[in-house]
Structure 1
């Protein structure tokens, strides 16, 4: 049923119902739309209830965006109370989504701050999101000059322990976007409590300022927790969407670290390694850090964009270090796999000799990376797919390129161990580590953040 939120909106000073309804219906006609917007804006609060009824109506011919625009941009803050009431009363997800868009677009920070204590979790969540949209300084945005950021931070902080987990998560996200002013407030929570805020306050600190924002006591506590967890660590998939890794058939983690020139290796669980890998693979490749697994079924994997064998910036150096690893351990491999059409690449080296390097991208045939002839496993994959094997007379280059773009996880599994297919069945010996790469020596340490352990 449509939700009427303004009660009886007709009065001696309000327009007749038919007039408001007619103006709303006119929003569906591009030729009448602007005049209708002006009339509805002029009626102000008297038009809010009917507009919300139309927005939530099941069969309205008026585009939702037109109604949302009038409420948020033409009527504006005057509509706040009515929109908030509609949001609290919305009985289904679609209705909540439509009304929340209006609520967030009102950009009234002081009203959002007050709404953070509303009984409705949906209102609290949308109010926090409204603050995010109006106040965020993430990604280089300038601070909102009309906002008292200290007041906003103080108002959001209690929501870190909100009984609704979605609200608590939203508050954490928003606090990480409000700039360095949040650091002292979160440090205060870490020291003085209340206790139910401390855990998320630590995550906010790590997200805003990385490890450097943590107190010595917090850093020591995190390191102790990691040392405890790695003792009973279990293998899990290391799928970062754009995943690059080096694979070596040995448990000699220290020797691999030496050959690769890694430094400042620190204990890390699979979960931590995955989170670091995801962070370093998104929003631009981070070459300064890798996760080195414990021995998994006789193999050690090194995970991170630095390991990509077909990255224009990394290909030759990866070729060099994988060749060095193969001289010491007999074999070594490197792979790249980008999900959702991101391409694939692989490098296989034995006893210092490159057996095969190949890369396949949608926008690039990868020919400049190709070394050596097709592997038997590549040809078998073609047969399985029902196409002429790569390298045979009559093979179709486009068919092969389409198949190859998804092939690296399968090849890694056939030739050794794939990080995308790890799980409890895999035998694990030793402990993993996160380490810095030679790239970090030249270009600076990577930024740290909040990672799951």
Structure 2
């Protein structure tokens, strides 16, 4: 097929001609109008073009015509194309169209389609049209009760991706999902109960659970911590305090933590990962049991080079070292987010340093470079920090990845915990003094 012939009269122009014209910015709007006028007759040719890997027409131009100009009359054809697609690329292209219609009633009907891809895309379409997450307003005219009742059976869908999507969507529909999910927890059917619990916790937190469910969760934690093995505590953006003692209670009291409750390593990691992403949560920490003679406190509240926390952490770690001889605090962002460390002995700060791509950490620097810092430079073949000729840029690049290595050399790194680690006692989740002033963090669905 050659270029679109603008000399053709409208009645002579074919759908294919108009579709090809979508690739031309000067002719795109006229082509949209032409295709919209054709309505259902243009849908199949548009879908063929969408699936043509050699097409010069941008995918989103085809999506726009199908969903915004032709609209819901194209729904059934798009659904059929989605069900018939045989590869992931084709399914993905058609699914993007399908989920843009905003036709909630049609999506509800498609939730029972034989194709798992159609069911999952229908659930995503509902998510796009109905989500109230992140401050979005409810979709006026939508019967949310009807939507919720239609989604709940998918929690037991035979396709795990569809079941996961249904769970995610339910958590985005607001507090109206809580009572239907509690009914599932109380009365079944049994195949829905496990995911219903997760969705309920993600939606309303611990407070949304029934007393029986809260008691069951606490009982499960008590059972699991009895013979628990350590596991790595790596939250992508990880902050922690390390103290060479098994006196967990003493650390909790000195740091002003309160309402400590038993927690597994898995739960501590799950909460830590949640609290360290997006907006750092300073109101909660995980306190490990004794691990190889040390106790770690994990959470953004412990970051020694966070401008909001640096001075408070400096005071806390110094006081811990006064009582226990030594104490340390670290930050590490494994995706190039930098490093920071603070080392104190006998009530005095020995060293504090921070390094990340946006900030060389100079404002946090205290004390002279540690021998371990200098040794790391030598190992990398660069002039040690503090020596004549040391390159600040090389030092910054190296330091941005150094916190876990220093933590392991000076004591225990949370990233290096594992089955080989000697564990004594039980870990705990606790609120920090920040929570007293700013409110307790919301709870959610966490791994146990």
Corresponding residue of 1:49: 44
Deviation, 1:297, is 1.1
Residue in structure 2 matching 1:212, options 203, 207, 210 = 207
Corresponding residue of 1:227: 222
Corresponding residue of 2:446: 451
Between stretches 337-346 and 17-26, larger displacement belongs to: 17-26
In 2, Cα distance between equivalents of 1:339 and 1:17: 61
Q: Secondary structure at the match of 2:205?
A: helix
Deviation, 1:33, is 1.1
Residue in structure 1 matching 2:421, options 409, 423, 426 = 426
Corresponding residue of 1:203: 198
> Where do 5+ consecutive residues of structure 2 fail to align?
1-9
Residue in structure 1 matching 2:162, options 155, 158, 167 = 167
In 1, Cα distance between equivalents of 2:127 and 2:381: 51
Deviation, 1:16, is 8.9
Residue in structure 2 matching 1:89, options 75, 84, 100 = 84
> Closer, same or farther in 2 for the Cα pair 1:165/1:17, shift >3 Å?
farther
In 1, Cα distance between equivalents of 2:225 and 2:157: 31
| Residues 121-180 of structure 1 deviation map (CA, whole Å, 9 limit, x = unaligned) | 000100100110110000100111121100000000000111111011100100000001
Q: Does 1:348 align with 2:343?
A: yes
In 1, Cα distance between equivalents of 2:168 and 2:318: 43
Q: Does 1:181 align with 2:176?
A: yes
In 2, Cα distance between equivalents of 1:109 and 1:409: 49
Corresponding residue of 2:4: none
In 1, Cα distance between equivalents of 2:365 and 2:350: 10
Q: Structure 2 matches for 1:9-48, cutoff 5 A?
A: 19-48=14-43
Q: Structure 2 matches for 1:301-450, cutoff 5 A?
A: 301-450=296-445
Q: Does 1:139 align with 2:134?
A: yes
Q: Secondary structure at the match of 2:14?
A: helix
In 1, Cα distance between equivalents of 2:229 and 2:171: 31
In 2, Cα distance between equivalents of 1:236 and 1:264: 24
> Closer, same or farther in 2 for the Cα pair 1:326/1:43, shift >3 Å?
same
Corresponding residue of 1:79: 74
Between stretches 58-67 and 79-88, larger displacement belongs to: 58-67
Q: Secondary structure at the match of 1:182?
A: helix
Q: Secondary structure at the match of 2:119?
A: helix
Q: Secondary structure at the match of 1:310?
A: coil
Deviation, 1:254, is 1.3
Q: Secondary structure at the match of 1:147?
A: coil
In 2, Cα distance between equivalents of 1:293 and 1:88: 49
In 1, Cα distance between equivalents of 2:235 and 2:139: 34
Deviation, 1:232, is 2.0
Deviation, 1:17, is 10
Deviation, 1:61, is 2.0
| Residues 347-394 of structure 1 deviation map (CA, whole Å, 9 limit, x = unaligned) | 001111111001112221211111100011111111122211111111
In 2, Cα distance between equivalents of 1:127 and 1:417: 48
Report runs of 4+ in structure 1 exceeding 4 Å deviation. Answer: 15-18
Between stretches 302-311 and 65-74, larger displacement belongs to: 65-74
Q: Does 1:248 align with 2:239?
A: no
In 1, Cα distance between equivalents of 2:357 and 2:154: 45
In 1, Cα distance between equivalents of 2:22 and 2:440: 55
In 1, Cα distance between equivalents of 2:161 and 2:20: 36
Corresponding residue of 2:95: 100
Between stretches 55-64 and 241-250, larger displacement belongs to: 55-64
Measured on the aligned residues, the alpha-carbon RMSD in Å equals 1.3
Corresponding residue of 1:11: none
Relative to the length of structure 1, the TM-score reads 0.95
Q: Structure 2 matches for 1:110-149, cutoff 5 A?
A: 110-149=105-144
Q: Does 1:273 align with 2:305?
A: no
Corresponding residue of 2:153: 158
Relative to the length of structure 2, the TM-score reads 0.96
Corresponding residue of 1:286: 281
Q: Secondary structure at the match of 1:311?
A: coil
Deviation, 1:199, is 1.0
In 2, Cα distance between equivalents of 1:452 and 1:369: 35
In 2, Cα distance between equivalents of 1:252 and 1:58: 64
Residue in structure 2 matching 1:258, options 253, 262, 267 = 253
| Residues 30-56 of structure 1 deviation map (CA, whole Å, 9 limit, x = unaligned) | 111111111111101101111111111
| Residues 282-307 of structure 1 deviation map (CA, whole Å, 9 limit, x = unaligned) | 12111111001111111111000110
Corresponding residue of 1:3: none
> Closer, same or farther in 2 for the Cα pair 1:17/1:323, shift >3 Å?
farther
Q: Secondary structure at the match of 2:398?
A: helix
In 2, Cα distance between equivalents of 1:431 and 1:88: 51
Corresponding residue of 2:6: none
Q: Secondary structure at the match of 1:105?
A: coil
